[in-house]
């Protein structure tokens, strides 16, 4: 069974969805062995306690450089014998320290049909731009912002009366349904190539 670390900065709704998915699988091919947060007061840490997931929360401000921040995280990943990284609302670009250690073993979820609306607040960007369709993208992580190879996309229609809240709810529903399944599929594919 592959050992996964989930990275999250906020409420952790995708982490919660992953844990609920695993709880309902008779033979899961991965387990969440560690939660990493760059926000020591993030709500996701409370969720991790509920699920009894070991967590490591540390602010980048506690380190003189980004590379030292990532070295501290990497040490935690090695200590926990982590095989695969899952970004779930982690609001920070990964640097070379983590990217090189987990090349082709890091996935992210983004609330738009990339390459449209990368970066922060993609839902608001889509509404402001006036598009009729946005969506969800799951992709491998590379050096860029939401630029890695796309694994899966699903469109979401935007109604004329859509608000940021209603569109967020639609998108999160799809994220919570699809992300755990796609993670499991990526890990199956990874195991087939090892």
Active site residues: 110
Query: 138: which strand partners?
Result: 109, 152
The sign one gets for the Cα dihedral 103, 104, 106, 110 is positive
Cα–Cα dist 5/88, whole Å: 10
Whole-angstrom Cα distance, residue 95 to residue 99? 6
CA gap 33, 18 in Å, rounded: 12
Kindly list the distances between the CA atom of residue 75 and the CA atoms of 5, 101, 156, in Å, as whole numbers in the listed order.
13, 11, 39
* Rounded Cα–Cα distance for residues 103 and 170 (Å): 31
Contact partners, residue 96, CB within 8 Å, separation at least 6: 67, 143
């Amino acid at each position: 069974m592959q050992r996964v670390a989930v990275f999250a900065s906020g409420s952790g709704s995708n982490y919660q969805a992953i844990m609920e998915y695993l709880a309902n699988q008779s033979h899961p091919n991965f387990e969440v062995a560690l939660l990493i947060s760059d926000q020591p007061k993030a709500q996701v840490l409370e969720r991790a306690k509920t699920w009894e997931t070991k967590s490591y929360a540390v602010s980048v401000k506690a380190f003189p450089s980004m590379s030292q921040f990532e070295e501290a995280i990497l040490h935690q990943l090695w200590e926990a014998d982590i095989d695969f990284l899952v970004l779930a609302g982690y609001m920070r670009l990964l640097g070379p320290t983590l990217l090189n250690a987990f090349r082709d073993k890091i996935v992210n979820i983004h609330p738009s049909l990339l390459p449209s609306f990368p970066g922060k607040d993609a839902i608001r960007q889509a509404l402001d731009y006036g598009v009729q369709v946005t969506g969800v993208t799951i992709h491998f992580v590379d050096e860029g912002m939401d630029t890695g190879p796309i694994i899966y996309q699903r469109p979401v229609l935007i109604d004329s009366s859509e608000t940021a809240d209603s569109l967020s709810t639609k998108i999160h529903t799809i994220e919570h349904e699809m992300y755990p399944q796609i993670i499991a599929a990526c890990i199956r594919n990874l195991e087939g190539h090892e």
